[in-house]
Amino acid sequence: MPTVLRMPEVATDTTEATLTSWPVPEGQRFARGDVLVVVETAKAAVDVEAEADGVLVKRLAGEGAELAAGTPIAVLAAPDETVTDLDGVLAALDLSTPPDRSPVAEPAARPNGRVFASPLARRMARNAGLELADIRTSESSGRVVRRDVEAAIAAAKASVPAPAPAPDPAPAPAPEAGTRPHRDVPHSRLRRAIAARLVESVRSAPHFYLRGTARVDRLLALRTELNAAGPVKISVNDLVVKAVAGAHRRTPALNVIWTADAVRQFDVVDVAVAVATPSGLVTPVVRDVDRLGVAAVSETIRDLAERARDGRLRQRELDGGTITVTNLGMYGTPEFAAIINPPHAAILAVGAAAQEPVVTANGGISAATVVHLTLSVDHRPVDGTVAAQWLAGLVELLEHPTGILL
């Protein structure tokens, strides 16, 4: 008997996604592990792989469709199974054939007054101040979808009468602040996801902050030597990420996350790196940073950053880790604090390296290159003494950077 392929829940905080492409045509056989469909969340593209050999009998959703997790998207059959009565199969699976797309039709009967709508349509109607019950649908099932809400919004705008001309040439009053010339930039899927995660972090994770400074003249000298000796160009941020991994090894009590039942401590060191993209900030994860050489860390970060800016990251590359490194030093920002990226226990904010006067060991004053660091910590799994020990270990590694290479 054929089976239904449904839109997967590709991330724990994602309830809907966009169907991007169908690599497998209808009627074609596929093998276990082949990519059947590619879907896109707010942050990443996800390959949905076949769990067994089979045939893609029928697509139930087209490319570009925004669908809730669990929505049927295709009918699959076993490799040796022949489907001759597709309508019968769809009926047996409690599915209907895709309806004709008429321009606008009245909604079908709604039992008990309930209005059926896609999650996206509900959100669009709510944001536009429209009642779902007043929206006509193009679906024979009576379900309100995105194009129906868009049509309702356009109709509402068209029905607004033009303002009457002023009765006399008296000067009009100054417009209120909200009506001054402006331009609204609609929220992108990524921007909405970022906003939701940051609000969740501020509400659920009790933040506390530790600040430190590190003299990085030796670190900069080491970077110069590494770049002169090898083909891979190492950045200061690459060395900071390696130092963070070293601090995790020295103070493993910060290499944790908070869960509902326990503090989960990891034996591996995975570090997320904040990357600015045209759509917003994403935080791909570098795996096993403590086991990688500096050049490998640099190449991995560069690859993740390039694909993040092109929107080509996979969901698995955004999952995991216990800490994020965010660096605004390249913009000249001397110091800042950041919001923890859930479910991480901490985020390290790195400022610009700048010349500052420092006190020498004999009490004199000299110039040194200094970086200001701010560690934001979730107080649920991590106590202040642990965070202080971790930050001290990080400063030690940045000021004596040969330890980063060990």
User: What's the pLDDT score for residue 242?
Assistant: 98
Rank 88-92, 200-204, 284-288 by mean pLDDT and report only the highest. 284-288
What is the residue extent of each domain of the chain?
Answer: 3-92, 111-156, 208-405
- Enumerate the active-site residues: 379
The pLDDT tens digits for 241-251 are: 999 999 999 99
| Range with the poorest average pLDDT among 51-60, 164-173, 230-239 | 164-173
The whole-angstrom separation of Cα 110 and Cα 264 is: 47
| Range with the poorest average pLDDT among 49-63, 74-88, 110-124, 207-221 | 110-124
User: What's the pLDDT score for residue 305?
Assistant: 95
Contact between 303 and 271 under an 8 Å Cβ cutoff? The reply is no
Single pTM value for the model: 0.67
User: What's the pLDDT score for residue 106?
Assistant: 43
The whole-angstrom separation of Cα 78 and Cα 10 is: 24
Which class for 375: exposed (0-12), middle (13-18), buried (19 or more C-beta within 10 A)? buried
CATH of domain 3-92: 2.40.50.100
The pLDDT tens digits for 59-100 are: 998 887 888 888 899 999 998 888 888 888 788 777 754 433
The pLDDT tens digits for 364-390 are: 999 999 999 999 999 999 999 999 999
Q: Please, what sign has the CA dihedral across residues 318, 322, 327, 333?
A: positive
CATH topology for 111-156 is: Dihydrolipoamide Transferase (4.10.320)
CATH topology for 208-405 is: Chloramphenicol Acetyltransferase (3.30.559)
